[in-house]
Structure 1
Amino acid sequence: MDSSGHYSPGTAGFNLADVSSVSELDSLPGGVKGLVWLGLCNGADSSFINAVQPFIGNPKLFGFYLMDEPDPTGQWAPLCPAANLMAESDWIHANAPGAQTFIVMMNFNTSVAPTYANTYNPGNSHIDLYGIDPYPCRTETNGCDYDMITVAVAAAKSSGIPLGSIVPVYQAFGGGSWADDGGGKYTLPTSSQAQQIMSTWAPLVPNPVFDYAYSWGTQSSDQALEGSTALQAVFAAHNAASAGATTTTTITLPPITPTTTTTTRPPTTATTTSPAATTTTTRPATTTTATSPVATTTTTTRPPTTTSTTVRTSSTTTTTTQSSSTIGTVFLIVMENTDWSSIKGSSSAPYINGTLLPRAAHAEQYYNPPNMHPSLPNYLWLEAGTNFGILDDNEPSSNHQSTTSHLVNMLETAGISWKTYQEDEGSGAWDGSSCPTGFNYGNRYDVNHNPFAYFTDITNTTRCIQHVRPYSEFATNLASNTVPRYNFIVPDLCHDMHENIDCSQSDRIKFGDTWLSTEVPKILASQAYLNNGALFITWDEAASGDGPIGMIVLSPKAKGGGYSNTITYHHSSTLRTMQEIFNVTTPMLGGPADVTNAFDLRDLFVSFP
């Protein structure tokens, strides 16, 4: 940018500009094209179409920057389903031939062990290009950890992003108030470090469609490319070499013309403020601190990933809001016989402690009902709000109940779909062709972990087979978005943390944690969850006494971010929560002592139900 405020990207070799209006696009000098910022994720609705149409046919148009760090879970930024991005990308491809679609990806783990799994790729979003933004230069590394680049590229590829669709994002900032996810601060790369960053990227992504320097302008009191002539020289040499190559030209985003207000872009993995719904040019604001989804309980923030010196401003104030719609699909996973004190902070539960708890909301004082042991009474309580006087694990033949006053019967009466998915595995595993009402069904299936097998209004063959299904069917139903609204999920004895089971006896907590690390991401990436679904993970009972036991909640409508409370809950709280979500509250199961607001789980949510 020259002294008059006009674009002069050629001085550093840049030939792609980040713009947000037709006037900005038209003002680009010869040889420079524009990547149009949209920041919309509502699908190809009228607002989106109205935002895109003015740019169609402009000879300086390169493509559209759909979203910066979109979040398919709704935990760290406003919910952005892959299907919505697909609709937007498809509309652009159909109506603006040749225009590229682009997002910068959010990393859902640490910089040393990144993951983009179950987020976005060409298969589920039809987006053309994906920015990957590891920032390796940090105080805690006493230099730069270039392996962060290598593992980020590997993670992107393993998530389904083709090599040719990856856009390298180079670190060109440091200092200021940005905190990294390793407990330190980002440092401005030296000339030699910047060259090594580029050299590390080069063999990993040898011919990117374009590459991206973050950032030109300063923010949060940091240092950036605009203030370092030495770094500008490195980028000028890099860009000149790329432009002169016979392969696809590498292009990097320059600064844009300043607007009347100067704001900053959001952190890269945890935007807290959403774009205003009334404008097509507003970037997410960054006036609040955002929490990055990291694999530890440390709260950190990440820096932004764009090269603009300013961002789009809006005449309206943007605030973090949740959807006004109620909770849709519910997933309840019930684990076995473990005190919360044995799980929280345990090295045997790295997924729960490192991934789930920093993203979830959880209860610190959740118990099984008083003196309610062994397992069966607790499962019955989760379904009916009582144990019917049962204090053993006998089969349905001796413990069956004829009442129709239980949750799933109320759901069916209200026209709400439900299933229980009961896991089994190995040769001779229960296959769903019969109603599993005894200990002689399958291998690792346990009938006293299936409360529905104890209600005679369910166990007639037709109704049972319709609703009591093998867990092996769950992934298919999830992927095809045909799961019911209420899903009661029970791992088998190898995976539920049950004690004294030969297959998991070496470390039962680790076996269960590993199972969760495999299965929970499938739920969190599903359309049913992303559309205001809710996942509850709890345990049937404590291993000693009545608890506390775990209650973990993940939902686009949950508080998340590691929130916890010390409200006293037990299984009546979960049952009441389900009744309120599905609006089947007459009668309120669990009795009048448990009908006050303090006994449901609403405190774990931003809005409920």
Structure 2
Amino acid sequence: MTASQPRTHRMLFGTGLVAAAALALAATAPASGSPGDHAGKPRLAHAFVIMEENHAQDHVIGDPNMPFTNSLAASYNQATNYYGVTHTSEPNYIASTSGSNWDVNNDNGWNPTATNPATNHYDHTNIVDELEGAHISWGAYMDGMPSAGYLPDQWPATGGALYASKHNPFALYNDVRTDAARMSHVKPMNSLATDLNSGHAPRYVWISPDQCNDMHGGVYGAIAGHPETPCPYNDAPGDANDEALKTKADAFLKTTVNTIMHSKAWTPGSVIFITADETDYDGDSPSNNFYLSTAGCCDSPVLPAGDPAVSPTWPGGVYGGGLVPMIVVTKDGPRHVTDNTAYNHYSMLLTIEQGFGLTKLGFTSDSRQVKPMWSLISNH
């Protein structure tokens, strides 16, 4: 097994519902680097990904605390049957950028200072390898990150982190993290506007809001220079803390989307994907590790009963990330389109690969399960 091939002993072509027929299928993980099926597909000028956190589709779409976000959903396009790949947060970020969660269902970011660090380092082909191999420029912008190429697991180190490496997939790939030139592309959020209006705007842009602006929460004190702080965790979807987190996320999205759409990089053929990694953490069902939903599709992992990544009482089956929002904003594509095709983060990655003429990573080569999202992007 090569470092660029997904492990298969816990993977299955998932459907979101556990059925005997589905469990009987042989789990055959696609090899990374297979030729991209982009013949005749539209080309993307720029692709922007904004990854929010921990909110189900119906806790965002229609929520009055997120008027700007919902104005985008109404004016542009939505994938209405779009899932997180799995739980928890980190494997969704990895899946979105390498085509597999690599058998990981935890948030053990890079923390070499821990006494007994249980950390995830990914030695797998990823979107950076693909982009650089095709000479396509890229940039990643981390809200709350104090400096370009920042390597510690979080900032601040104590008291509730605004920036956390589990939401920065690029810092978790060995071949990016250990390469200073590559890490120089991973920058604080305040570099975005300058870069997009330069003569060398990146064509692929990943944006992770900080944990106050991404609906995650967990910062309990004010941090100088960050008016979005504090932002306590919510106890349940829709409580006062949750509604405050949504308001902060909506303000961040308004600023960020307007920055993109008023930049030189917002050219014909450009698209913004706005989604969330997974559904809410609810606390009602210990059998699924207290997540609101474990529904999934499109090669979400299938975990056996009692899997320690979930719970001793987990009954076994598809461990998907639940139904999450996906809003697709285009410069010159269709408007007011809703698509009910089953999609997940692999579908977003596949669409970007096809739009840039890249090869396929991991499960994006599974054309039976993972479909591209062109109906939401192109008029052709």
Name the TM-score, length of structure 1 as normaliser: 0.43
Per the TM alignment, residue 605 of structure 1 is displaced from its structure 2 partner at its CA by 2.3
Tell me the distance in 1 between the aligned counterparts of 2:155 and 2:207: 20
Report matched runs for 1:386-465 at 5 Å.
Answer: 386-396=100-110, 397=112, 398-403=119-124, 405-424=125-144, 430-432=146-148, 434-439=149-154, 443-465=161-183
- 1:533 lines up with 2:248 in the alignment: no
Kindly indicate whether the alpha-carbon contact (under 8 Å) linking 1:327 and 1:557 is maintained by their aligned counterparts in 2.
no
Per the TM alignment, residue 358 of structure 1 is displaced from its structure 2 partner at its CA by 2.4
Equivalence for 2:6: none
Q: Deviations over 1:536-577 (max 9, x none)?
A: 1111111121321011111124322x2212111111101111
Task: For residue 487 of structure 1, give the secondary structure of its aligned residue in structure 2.
Answer: strand
Equivalence for 1:153: none
Tell me the distance in 2 between the aligned counterparts of 1:596 and 1:444: 39
Tell me the distance in 1 between the aligned counterparts of 2:345 and 2:375: 16
Partner residue of 1:504 out of 205, 209, 231: 231
Q: Deviations over 1:256-301 (max 9, x none)?
A: xxxxxxxxxxxxxxxxxxxxxxxxxxxxxxxxxxxxxxxxxxxxxx
Residues 464 and 438 (structure 1), Cα distance of their counterparts in 2 relative to 1, 3 Å cut = farther
Task: For residue 528 of structure 1, give the secondary structure of its aligned residue in structure 2.
Answer: coil
Partner residue of 2:89 out of 375, 400, 403: 375
| Matched residue type, 1:436 | L
Task: For residue 549 of structure 1, give the secondary structure of its aligned residue in structure 2.
Answer: coil
Equivalence for 1:581: 355
Give 5+ residue unaligned stretches, structure 2.
1-40, 113-118, 221-229, 233-240, 281-291, 294-320
Kindly indicate whether the alpha-carbon contact (under 8 Å) linking 2:347 and 2:373 is maintained by their aligned counterparts in 1.
yes
Tell me the distance in 2 between the aligned counterparts of 1:483 and 1:455: 23
Tell me the distance in 1 between the aligned counterparts of 2:364 and 2:67: 38
Per the TM alignment, residue 326 of structure 1 is displaced from its structure 2 partner at its CA by 2.6
Equivalence for 2:296: none
More helix by proportion, 1 or 2?
Answer: 1
Per the TM alignment, residue 488 of structure 1 is displaced from its structure 2 partner at its CA by 0.5
Residues 440 and 492 (structure 1), Cα distance of their counterparts in 2 relative to 1, 3 Å cut = closer
| Matched residue type, 1:328 | A
Q: Deviations over 1:371-417 (max 9, x none)?
A: x21100100100111111111111235210222x2111111011111
Indicate the percent of aligned positions where both proteins have the same amino acid.
29
Residues 476 and 590 (structure 1), Cα distance of their counterparts in 2 relative to 1, 3 Å cut = same
| Matched residue type, 1:366 | Y
- 1:567 lines up with 2:341 in the alignment: yes
Residues 522 and 469 (structure 1), Cα distance of their counterparts in 2 relative to 1, 3 Å cut = same
| Matched residue type, 1:418 | W
Aligned CA-pair RMSD: 2.1
Tell me the distance in 1 between the aligned counterparts of 2:129 and 2:250: 32
Tell me the distance in 2 between the aligned counterparts of 1:350 and 1:335: 16
Equivalence for 2:60: 343
Runs of 4+ aligned residues of structure 1 deviating over 4 Å after TM superposition are 440-443
Per the TM alignment, residue 478 of structure 1 is displaced from its structure 2 partner at its CA by 1.9
CA radius of gyration, larger in: 1
Partner residue of 1:488 out of 198, 203, 206: 206
Question: Does 1 or 2 have the higher relative contact order (CA < 8 Å, sep 6+)?
Answer: 2
Tell me the distance in 2 between the aligned counterparts of 1:591 and 1:573: 7
Q: Deviations over 1:351-385 (max 9, x none)?
A: 112x212221111110012xx21100100100111
- 1:361 lines up with 2:83 in the alignment: no
Kindly indicate whether the alpha-carbon contact (under 8 Å) linking 1:490 and 1:496 is maintained by their aligned counterparts in 2.
yes
Tell me the distance in 2 between the aligned counterparts of 1:337 and 1:440: 20
Tell me the distance in 2 between the aligned counterparts of 1:499 and 1:473: 23
Per the TM alignment, residue 592 of structure 1 is displaced from its structure 2 partner at its CA by 4.3
Per the TM alignment, residue 600 of structure 1 is displaced from its structure 2 partner at its CA by 1.0
Residues 462 and 592 (structure 1), Cα distance of their counterparts in 2 relative to 1, 3 Å cut = closer
- 1:601 lines up with 2:328 in the alignment: no
- 1:479 lines up with 2:197 in the alignment: yes
Partner residue of 2:323 out of 540, 543, 548: 548
Per the TM alignment, residue 479 of structure 1 is displaced from its structure 2 partner at its CA by 2.7
Q: Deviations over 1:507-530 (max 9, x none)?
A: 111110111112211111222113
Per the TM alignment, residue 436 of structure 1 is displaced from its structure 2 partner at its CA by 2.1
Name the TM-score, length of structure 2 as normaliser: 0.67
